Amino acid sequence: MSESRIKRVFSVKKAHETQLRLSKSIIFKDNLPKRVRLVAGVDVAYARGTSIGAAVVLDYDSLELVESEAVCCRTLFPYIPTLLSFREIPPTVLAIRKLKTHPDVFLVDGQGYAHHYGCGFASHLGLVISKPTIGVAKSKLFGEAEKSRNRTDITLLKHKEEIIGAVVKTKSNCKPVYVSVGHMVSLETAIEIARHCVRDNRVPEPILKAHETANTEKRKINNA
């Protein structure tokens, strides 16, 4: 089925209903080992009707690369705002399945619970693979930042008085990132892990490495 055909028969309303239903299954408590040893990053790139899913694994303490995998598959799902996970889950899961190592937690370039329907890419992925996931987005999708008199590096993100994520300044003189629970992790731990994984860029290293891996494959496709 072509992308245009899928777009015609796809029900945005039913997809949003699915997200709302899935959001009720998100676990907001830590389901991690006492010591995190391996952290993964995932990202997706697109080229010529192809989706490139990338999954990388880093040593949590040193942030050195342990493993990197990329998978190419046909892009069937169109880009629809708030429904990015339906487009990116297939190539991402294929890449994760190729990993020989078993990460303790996945950092996702996207939203988790901080989403209009409570289930962004990070949460959807966590529910699909039954693993702890954390959403780390470069821009805000949903919610309002609550100003704090006590801290300038972390600001809670709220919707109708409910805490849905946090605006986190990971580097001085840089824009913040937007951290939210994906699945099987608390917001406090999600922030801690995201900040630990930052090196020279405001974006955590696992996500940067996944982005690099996906874009390397993208260049190969575009240059073919």
| pLDDT at residue 27, rounded to an integer | 98
Give the whole-angstrom CA distance, residue 85 versus residue 106.
15
| pLDDT at residue 149, rounded to an integer | 63
**Taking phi first (over 0 means left), then psi (-120 to 50 degrees means alpha), and beta for anything else, what does residue 69 get?**
beta
Rounded to two decimals, the pTM is 0.93
| pLDDT at residue 123, rounded to an integer | 98
Cβ-Cβ contacts under 8 Å for 62 (sequence gap 6 or more): none
Cβ-Cβ contacts under 8 Å for 106 (sequence gap 6 or more): 39, 40, 41, 42, 96, 122, 125, 126, 129, 131, 132, 133, 134, 182
| pLDDT at residue 35, rounded to an integer | 96
Number of CB atoms found within 10 A of residue 151's CB: 9
Number of CB atoms found within 10 A of residue 212's CB: 15
DSSP-based three-state secondary structure for 103: coil
Query: What CATH number is given to the structural domain containing 139?
Result: 3.30.2170.10
| pLDDT at residue 4, rounded to an integer | 54
* Number of domains the chain is built from: 1
Encoding tokens for residue 110?
């996207």
Blockwise average pLDDT, block size 10, the chain, 224 residues: 55 93 98 97 96 98 98 91 94 98 97 96 98 96 81 89 95 93 98 96 97 96 90
| pLDDT at residue 20, rounded to an integer | 96
| pLDDT at residue 129, rounded to an integer | 98
Give the whole-angstrom CA distance, residue 185 versus residue 183.
6
Helices (H), 33-175: 84-98, 121-129
Domain range enclosing 39:
3-223
| pLDDT at residue 25, rounded to an integer | 98
| pLDDT at residue 146, rounded to an integer | 84
| pLDDT at residue 148, rounded to an integer | 66
